[in-house]
Amino acid sequence: MKKLYSLMALVLLASMLLSACGATTPAPAATQAPAPATSAPAATSAPATQPAATQASSGTAPDCTQANVFCVGDVTDVGHVDDKSFNQSTWEGLQKAKADGNADWIQYIETADSKDYAKNIDTFAQAGYKVIVTTGFNLTDPTYAAAKKYPNILFIGVDQFLSKDANHPDWPLPNLVGLVYNEDQSGFLVGALASMMSKSHTIGGVFGTDAVPPVWRYGEGYRAGAAYEDAKNGTKTTVINVYHNDVGFDKTFTDPTWGATTAQSMIDKGADVIFGGGGLTGNGAVDKAAADKVLAIGVDSDQYYTLPEADAYLLTSALKPLTAPVAELIGMAKAGKFPTGGLYFGAAGYAPYHDTASLVPANVDAEMQALLKGLTDGSIKTNVPPVKPAQ
Amino acid sequence: MQSTAEKGFIKRLGQLLEPLLVPFLAIFTAVILGGIIIKVVGGDPIAAYKGLVQGAFGSPQALSETAVWSTPYIFAGLAVALGFKGGLFNIGAEGQLAFGAVAAALIGYALPGWLHTSIPPYIHIPLAVGAGVLAGAIWGGIPGALKAYTGGHEVINTIMMNYIALNITSYLLNGPMRDPNPLNLSARTPEIAVSARIPPIFDIPGMRIHWGFVLALLMAVVVWWLLWKTTLGFEIRTVGANPDAAKYAGINVKWIITLSMALSGALAGLAGAIEVTALNYRHELGFSTGYGFDAIAIALLGKNNPFGIILAAILFGAMRNGSTRMQFLTQIPVDIISVIQALILLFVAADAIIRFIYRIRAHEERVVLTRGWGG
């Protein structure tokens, strides 16, 4: 019996400890009696009468079901909101929307497993959220299904290209917008810059598989941008583009070794600017170029911040900025001006030169700004089709 | 004070509950430590655990999702436990599960085309699931045979077979079995035919609990019956406890070792086949988030007892499922669940820690998990 008593004492002590842990929150958790010694603390020591669970992050969640409380939720792809990539940029878009006064409350759910996509969207929908943002093309189908299930909630699918087909017979839905990009324009910008900066007039591009349309658009935009400047300046630039098509979809973006060796062979052929476009594969190329003191160009986000070893030689990055358009779309949703037509094109762009700014002549910089303006207002066209034509 | 009868009853009750004591205290201690970690990182443990419980059990839909999460855990946990009972450490459940899923998906989407006819569900479902079971059994049986006839250690071989299975799966899903839809950007198979799909139990949108869960519960009974009520089960357990004695007793040890691994692989393959036919309706790379490895923890926590495994699998499923709501309410990263699960595993595996903390004398029989190298 003595053993049993000491055990009970320990359990009791532990439950009190657990209750005490909760005592710093404003809710009256501390006054609750410790859990009965025989049951697991998780199940019973959380008092049922306590007002809605307090927020660990920032204040208490409002009642999102009320019509005047504008709540925006973010379902990430498998991974974390601080991934320095899509999940993070999207979440920053929600934070910007809140800072701009276009959302009363924002919240994210990090998806742990692909079978939870629908459940995570449901969690927001059932809590009365007005806008649900889903990140990444893996959520295309779950987002479409949720948009049909919840016609009164607005959905923003980041990087989700949809069209009317057998799987999406009712597209476009009035409450679903896919945020997509003209990657060819971003590729065009960095291609033009590469062509102007190259002394050997040989530039390289290391990409993931061209079966992924955005990757193909980056690559062909890069080529088109270089050709545009060639025509203008009377130069002849050789563009060596290599797509990592020889492996599966799960490898093509995660092969930095291949990226590095491919970049190396381009440098051996005289390339003096390397564009790395395709996840870790492209990062490998960028790092290799910088290590060989060759100018490098990053992709998607400003890689000055994500590949610090390459900073000294990182010329720019072809941008696919998510933060601003996500915030824009939330603002449009708040204002009752949610775009129709199913797709919303985010603006193209290129990142600041940072450490390489001193290498870029003023006339080149002026030309870049003119190109960006021309692409944005439509006076310059990349002439790259949205998907690779069938051979 | 107490009569002899009462004392006898308490003693018997104690004996009955004794096997539950260490796992329960391991969970309890892990939850307390998890709470302290949440507190240290600036969260509110009460709110977090409340969210976890709500998310796992708080509504019919939550219960349904917990069952969905638990299903592969039960199958895979049984797979690992059956291996343990035969003295074999099957780390290869992950690969066997992947092959089970691939085979079930292939039969699920391609068979009607091969036969140029539609197949009624009562034939198509067993064929698809059966293909998955067979694939898992073969993939588990190979390291079993290697162990039995060449002495190659099953731990090394199953780990290597995992890599082979995952890379072949990757090749198949990127190549011959890839969904040909031009809009498909993922490495995944086409959807399986409707006739190969195991239906949900309730015809209510959002209630995904399916008959696979019931099958998992039944399978626990079957494994219990096999291990403790049949000659084959006796032979498996004997080989697991002492292969020399088993050999002396006239048991065909090599055959039993091969068969144990094949049965273990079959159960893991079943886990994959059920995920495909009852839940995802296709196989996709990255669909399995380490069920095969969680299964080892579940088998340990369930003390290799089929009914203990059901409880352990439901616990793990509930934690995985409830973590979404926990994060929604408190923004505590879902990774804390992995931490708690790891702590549970640690305390179950190194039960001396728990026995020391709670002053429990070790008088129960030691569970023989696996024999040493080259045993």
CB-based contacts of B112: which residues, under 8 Å, 6+ apart?
B118, B119, B124, B193, B195
Handedness of CA B91, B368, B79, B217 (dihedral sign): negative
Lowest mean pLDDT among A8-17, A188-197, A262-271, B145-154: A8-17
Parent domain of A115: 71-181
Contact A122 B325 (CB under 8 A): no
Give how far Cα B149 sits from Cα of A18, A224, A274, B153, Å.
Answer: 54, 63, 55, 11
Contact B45 A57 (CB under 8 A): no
Contact B47 A119 (CB under 8 A): no
Query: Is the predicted pLDDT of residue A27 greater than 70, yes or no?
Result: no
Q: What is the pLDDT at residue A93?
A: 94
Per-residue pLDDT of B112-148, as tens digits, reads 999 998 899 999 999 999 999 999 999 999 999 999 9
CB-closest option in B47, B285, B324 to A116: B324
Are residues A272 and A366 both part of a single domain?
yes
Chain B positions touching A253 (Cβ under 8 A) are: none
Are residues A202 and A168 both part of a single domain?
no
Could you tell me how far CA B257 lies from the centroid of its own chain? 20
Contact B42/A at CB under 8 A: yes
b/e sequence B128-140, b meaning 16+ C-beta within 10 Å: bbbbbbbbbbbbb
In the block, tokens 């708690």 appear at B340
Contact B324 A123 (CB under 8 A): yes
The ipTM is 0.77
Q: For residues A5 and A17, what is the distance between their CA atoms, to the nearest angstrom?
A: 18
**C-beta separation of A271 from A200 below 8 A:** yes
The answer for A 348-387 residues in CB contact with B (under 8 A) is none
Is A62 among the domain residues? no
Q: What is the pLDDT at residue A62?
A: 87
In the block, tokens 């085309």 appear at B113
CB-closest option in B49, B287, B330 to A55: B330
Closest-CA residue in chain A for B323?
Answer: A112
CB-based contacts of A345: which residues, under 8 Å, 6+ apart?
A180, A181, A182
Are residues A253 and A373 both part of a single domain?
yes
Q: Token pair of B363, please?
A: 């008088």
Q: Token pair of A274, please?
A: 């390397």
Contact B174 A248 (CB under 8 A): yes
Q: What does the angle CA B208 – CA A77 – CA A329 come to, to the nearest 5 degrees?
A: 105
Work out the minimum CA distance from B151 to partner chain A, whole angstroms: 35
Chain B positions touching A216 (Cβ under 8 A) are: none
Contact A235/B at CB under 8 A: no
Choose the mutation target among B275, B324, B339, B357 for the interface with A, i.e. most A CBs under 10 Å: B324
Of residues B160 and A86, more confidence is placed in: B160
What Rg, from alpha-carbon coordinates, does chain A have? 26
Give how far Cα B79 sits from Cα of A80, A285, A291, B141, B229, Å.
Answer: 32, 44, 49, 12, 18
- The single-letter code of the amino acid at B250 is G
The packing angle between helices B60-85 and B253-274, to 10°, is: 160
Q: For residues B254 and B148, what is the distance between their CA atoms, to the nearest angstrom?
A: 5
Q: Token pair of A149, please?
A: 């299930």
Cα maximum dimension of chain B: 80
Q: What is the pLDDT at residue B188?
A: 86
Of residues A249 and A385, more confidence is placed in: A385
Q: Which of A60-74, B58-72, B318-332 has the highest mean pLDDT?
A: B58-72
Is A169 among the domain residues? yes
Is A31 among the domain residues? no
CB-based contacts of B122: which residues, under 8 Å, 6+ apart?
none
Q: With bands split at pLDDT 50, 70 and 90, how would you rate the model's confidence at B285?
A: confident
Q: Which of B228, B268, B306 is nearest to B140 (CA)?
A: B268
Contact B21/A at CB under 8 A: no
The answer for B 140-179 residues in CB contact with A (under 8 A) is 170-171, 173-175
Beta bridge partners of residue A318, listed in sequence order: A299, A350
Give the CA dihedral B329, B332, B336, B340, nearest 10 degrees.
-50
Per-residue pLDDT of B165-174, as tens digits, reads 988 998 898 8
Collapsed DSSP state (helix, strand, coil) of residue B369? coil
Q: With bands split at pLDDT 50, 70 and 90, how would you rate the model's confidence at A49?
A: very low
Q: What does the angle CA A141 – CA A147 – CA A153 come to, to the nearest 5 degrees?
A: 145
Are residues A357 and A231 both part of a single domain?
yes
Choose the mutation target among A10, A119, A123, A252 for the interface with B, i.e. most B CBs under 10 Å: A119
Mean pLDDT (whole number) for A202-220:
91
Chain A positions touching B50 (Cβ under 8 A) are: 42, 46, 50, 53
Q: Count the neighbouring beta carbons within 10 Å of the beta carbon of residue A357.
A: 11
Are residues A239 and A135 both part of a single domain?
no
Is A61 among the domain residues? no
User: Quick one: DSSP state of residue A135?
Assistant: E
Query: Strand pairing of A314-319 and A176-181?
Result: unpaired
Contact A245/B at CB under 8 A: no
Domain boundary, last residue among A129, A163, A181: A181
Per-residue pLDDT of A54-90, as tens digits, reads 333 455 778 899 989 999 999 998 888 887 778 888 9
Chain B positions touching A41 (Cβ under 8 A) are: 28, 31-32, 35, 49
Contact A249 B51 (CB under 8 A): no
Are residues A175 and A200 both part of a single domain?
no
Mean pLDDT taken over chain A? 83
Chain A positions touching B175 (Cβ under 8 A) are: 248
Lowest mean pLDDT among A122-136, A220-234, B262-276, B282-296: B282-296
Q: Count the neighbouring beta carbons within 10 Å of the beta carbon of residue A182.
A: 21
Per-residue pLDDT of B19-28, as tens digits, reads 788 889 999 9
* Continuous H helices in chain B: 4-40, 45-57, 60-85, 93-115, 121-150, 154-174, 211-229, 231-241, 243-248, 253-274, 291-301, 306-330, 335-349, 351-357
Are residues A170 and A135 both part of a single domain?
yes
Chain B positions touching A123 (Cβ under 8 A) are: 324-325, 328
Contact A7 B358 (CB under 8 A): yes
Q: What is the pLDDT at residue A5?
A: 45
Query: Is the predicted pLDDT of residue A321 greater than 70, yes or no?
Result: yes
Are residues A136 and A159 both part of a single domain?
yes
Per-residue pLDDT of B255-270, as tens digits, reads 999 999 999 999 999 9
Q: Which of B37-46, B54-63, B214-223 has the highest mean pLDDT?
A: B214-223
Are residues A100 and A243 both part of a single domain?
no
Prediction pTM value: 0.78
Q: For residues A391 and B190, what is the distance between their CA atoms, to the nearest angstrom?
A: 24
Contact B35/A at CB under 8 A: yes
Is A213 among the domain residues? yes
Q: What is the pLDDT at residue B1?
A: 54
Q: For residues B245 and B144, what is the distance between their CA atoms, to the nearest angstrom?
A: 20
b/e sequence A14-42, b meaning 16+ C-beta within 10 Å: bbbbbbebbeebebebeebebbeeeebbb
Q: What is the pLDDT at residue B10?
A: 77
Is A327 among the domain residues? no
**C-beta separation of A132 from A125 below 8 A:** yes
CATH number at residue A147: 3.40.50.2300
Mean pLDDT taken over chain B? 89
Q: For residues A125 and A143, what is the distance between their CA atoms, to the nearest angstrom?
A: 12
Give how far Cα B26 sits from Cα of B178, B298, B302, B313, Å.
Answer: 44, 13, 12, 15
The answer for A 133-162 residues in CB contact with B (under 8 A) is 137-138, 149, 161
Are residues A136 and A277 both part of a single domain?
no
Q: With bands split at pLDDT 50, 70 and 90, how would you rate the model's confidence at B366?
A: low
In the block, tokens 């098509």 appear at A245
Are residues A247 and A371 both part of a single domain?
yes
What Rg, from alpha-carbon coordinates, does chain B have? 22
Q: Which of A71, A59, A136 is nearest to A98 (CA)?
A: A71
Chain A positions touching B27 (Cβ under 8 A) are: 40
Q: For residues B294 and B300, what is the distance between their CA atoms, to the nearest angstrom?
A: 10
Q: What does the angle CA B256 – CA B259 – CA B264 come to, to the nearest 5 degrees?
A: 125
Chain B positions touching A19 (Cβ under 8 A) are: 46
Work out the minimum CA distance from B306 to partner chain A, whole angstroms: 23
**C-beta separation of A56 from A40 below 8 A:** no
* Beta-sheet strand order (sheet of A295-300): A238-243, A202-207, A273-277, A295-300, A314-319, A349-350
Mean pLDDT (whole number) for B272-293:
85
**C-beta separation of A241 from A222 below 8 A:** yes
**C-beta separation of A303 from A314 below 8 A:** yes
Q: What is the pLDDT at residue B31?
A: 93
Is A19 among the domain residues? no
**C-beta separation of B324 from B334 below 8 A:** yes
Sort A68 into a burial class: Cβ within 10 Å, 0-12 / 13-18 / 19+.
exposed
Contact A19/B at CB under 8 A: yes
Contact A119/B at CB under 8 A: yes
Give how far Cα A297 sits from Cα of A195, A283, A289, A349, B153, Å.
Answer: 12, 10, 9, 13, 49
Q: What is the pLDDT at residue B293?
A: 85
Q: Count the neighbouring beta carbons within 10 Å of the beta carbon of residue A304.
A: 19
Query: Is the predicted pLDDT of residue A188 greater than 70, yes or no?
Result: yes
Closest-CA residue in chain B for A118?
Answer: B206
Q: What is the pLDDT at residue A248?
A: 73
Handedness of CA B52, B58, B62, B63 (dihedral sign): positive
Is A54 among the domain residues? no
Contact B359/A at CB under 8 A: yes
Q: What is the pLDDT at residue A43?
A: 36
The CA-to-CA distance between both ends of chain B, in Å, stands at 52
Chain B positions touching A145 (Cβ under 8 A) are: none
b/e sequence B352-370, b meaning 16+ C-beta within 10 Å: eebeeebebeeeeeeeebb
Total tally of structural domains belonging to chain A: 2
Q: Which domains does chain B carry?
A: 23-357 (1.10.3470)
Are residues A191 and A176 both part of a single domain?
no
Q: What does the angle CA B125 – CA B128 – CA B134 come to, to the nearest 5 degrees?
A: 130
Q: What is the pLDDT at residue A389?
A: 78
Mean pLDDT (whole number) for A242-249:
83
Domain boundary, last residue among A148, A181, A214: A181
Q: What is the pLDDT at residue B362?
A: 64
Contact A109 B324 (CB under 8 A): yes
Per-residue pLDDT of B182-195, as tens digits, reads 667 677 899 999 99
Domain boundary, last residue among A181, A201, A228: A181
b/e sequence B272-295, b meaning 16+ C-beta within 10 Å: bbbbbbbbbbbbbbebbeebbbbb
The answer for B 178-237 residues in CB contact with A (under 8 A) is 181, 183, 185-187, 205-206
Closest-CA residue in chain A for B68?
Answer: A115
Beta bridge partners of residue A221, listed in sequence order: none
Q: Token pair of A318, please?
A: 């072809």
Contact A248 B360 (CB under 8 A): no
Closest-CA residue in chain A for B184?
Answer: A212
CB-based contacts of A288: which residues, under 8 Å, 6+ apart?
A259, A260, A261, A263, A264, A267, A274
**C-beta separation of A186 from A151 below 8 A:** no
**C-beta separation of A226 from A191 below 8 A:** yes
